[in-house]
């Protein structure tokens, strides 16, 4: 594992307000209009916490989200609703599920084509939402993408391709095609100069799960965690979590630790440089954590993270695989969590820190001990069941 504490200079922090409670409340109100909406579980793992020498561990289990086995649909649907509202000169609060799925929407708005790049979960969310909103979707996947994930997207009626390039180049393909298509728009959670509105809406959409988790923690008598581990690809989800919880607990925010796949650790690389400027990682970005295989950070998310994250870590595939097994086969009395390769990244990092002597310095600098209460996010379930079984049943990527 590679790790660094955050020594970067602070910026003006102008994006933190994107994740203010009133912004996230709009997203949650929107999602609540969906007939498929219900809070996903926050799983308490007291016996695992004791085993690792911690005061508590809670895992937000997103495998239950909308029947799609991952959280990404929250961002995609809210961004698409905001885009439609903006084109009509209306507020997103008017964009209920019933209206968006009605024939009236087609009369008022017409049809757009939503383009995106994905390893699977985000693209499935875009395709799922587009189908229900009577819109079109085009989804490009990077080389090496799972056939099972491809099929799940295609089942939603989207045009899907697997390209012979990495994720970041797929984003460029989607952006180029969207700009050359009448009523075409790219829905991507990474941001660049001139493309900031939709990524901001996606981050706010992700905020629904952080809002739920904050409420659910109170039910466990744990008003707030001391530490939050959150995985990152381009950093949009991580910044959503960090931004919302920082705004929520301004007087005493938890320590945030961002976890990436070692093969695609662009945020870690930027933090290790220490100058506050983002870094880019190139190449094939091959990792079992496909949802984290992104080499170019979201500039909005990066700004939030550089100001509020305590540490950045880059884990190996074996760490994620071990975490999948830990969650799938819990200690007696704890609840099992079906967590996919990317979903288990936070647990992989935490378990390694608490059990490896070579990471004692990292553990000490984070102040992880018997009084620590840790919040994790399992962002996906077994989105590729055969792959999941290879890891959990057959021991693939074991140390």
- Residue 377 phi/psi, 5-degree rounding, is -125, 115
* Known catalytic residue at 382: no
Task: Concatenate the DSSP letters of all residues of 18-40 into one string.
Answer: GG-HHHHHHHHHHHTTSTT--PP
Using CA atoms, how far apart are residues 386 and 134, in angstroms rounded to an integer? 32
Rounded alpha-carbon distances, angstroms, from residue 114 to 75, 77, 79, 154: 14, 11, 11, 14
Using CA atoms, how far apart are residues 187 and 158, in angstroms rounded to an integer? 14
* Known catalytic residue at 72: yes
Using CA atoms, how far apart are residues 22 and 244, in angstroms rounded to an integer? 10
Catalytic residue among 60, 72, 136, 255: 72
> What letter would DSSP give residue 180?
T
SS3 content of the chain, % helix, strand, coil (to 5): 50, 15, 40
Residues 72 and 63: beta-carbon distance below 8 Å: no
> What letter would DSSP give residue 251?
T
Chain centroid, CA 12 distance in Å:
25
Catalytic residue among 26, 60, 61, 119: 119
Instruction: Give catalytic residue positions.
Output: 72, 119
């Amino acid at each position: 594992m590679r790790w660094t504490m955050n020594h970067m200079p602070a910026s003006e922090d102008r994006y933190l307000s994107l994740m203010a409670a009133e912004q996230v409340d709009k997203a949650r109100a929107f999602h609540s209009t969906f007939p498929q909406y219900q809070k996903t579980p926050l799983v308490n793992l007291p016996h695992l916490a004791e085993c690792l020498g911690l005061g508590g561990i809670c895992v937000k289990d997103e495998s239950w989200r909308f029947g799609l086995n991952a959280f990404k649909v929250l961002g995609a649907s809210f961004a698409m609703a905001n885009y439609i509202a903006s084109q009509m000169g209306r507020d997103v609060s008017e964009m209920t599920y019933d209206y968006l799925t009605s024939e009236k929407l087609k009369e008022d708005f017409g049809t757009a084509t939503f383009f995106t790049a994905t390893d699977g979960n985000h693209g499935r969310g875009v395709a799922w939402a587009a189908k229900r909103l009577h819109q079109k979707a085009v989804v490009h996947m990077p080389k090496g993408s799972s056939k099972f994930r491809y099929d799940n997207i295609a089942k939603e009626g989207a045009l899907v391709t697997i390209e012979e390039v990495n994720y970041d180049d797929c984003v460029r393909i989607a952006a180029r095609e969207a700009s050359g298509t009448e009523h075409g728009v790219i829905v991507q959670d990474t941001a660049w100069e001139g493309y900031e509105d939709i990524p901001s809406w996606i981050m706010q959409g992700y905020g629904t799960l952080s809002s739920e988790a904050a409420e659910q923690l109170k039910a466990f008598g744990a008003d707030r965690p001391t530490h939050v581990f959150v995985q990152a690809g381009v950093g949009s989800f991580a910044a959503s979590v960090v931004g919302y919880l920082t705004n929520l607990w301004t007087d005493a925010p938890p320590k945030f630790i961002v976890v990436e796949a070692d093969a695609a650790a662009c945020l870690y690389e930027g933090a290790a440089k220490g100058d506050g400027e983002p870094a880019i990682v190139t190449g094939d970005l091959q990792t079992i954590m496909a949802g984290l295989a992104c080499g170019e950070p979201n500039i909005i998310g990066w700004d939030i993270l550089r100001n509020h994250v305590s540490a950045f870590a880059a884990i190996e595939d074996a760490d994620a695989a071990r975490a999948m097994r830990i969650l799938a086969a819990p200690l007696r009395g704890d609840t099992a969590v079906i967590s996919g390769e990317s979903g288990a990244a936070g647990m992989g990092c935490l378990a390694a820190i608490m059990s490896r002597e070579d990471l004692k310095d990292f553990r000490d600098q984070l102040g992880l001990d018997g009084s620590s209460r840790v919040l994790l996010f399992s962002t996906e379930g077994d989105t590729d069941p055969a792959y999941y079984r290879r890891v959990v049943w057959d021991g693939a990527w074991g140390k």
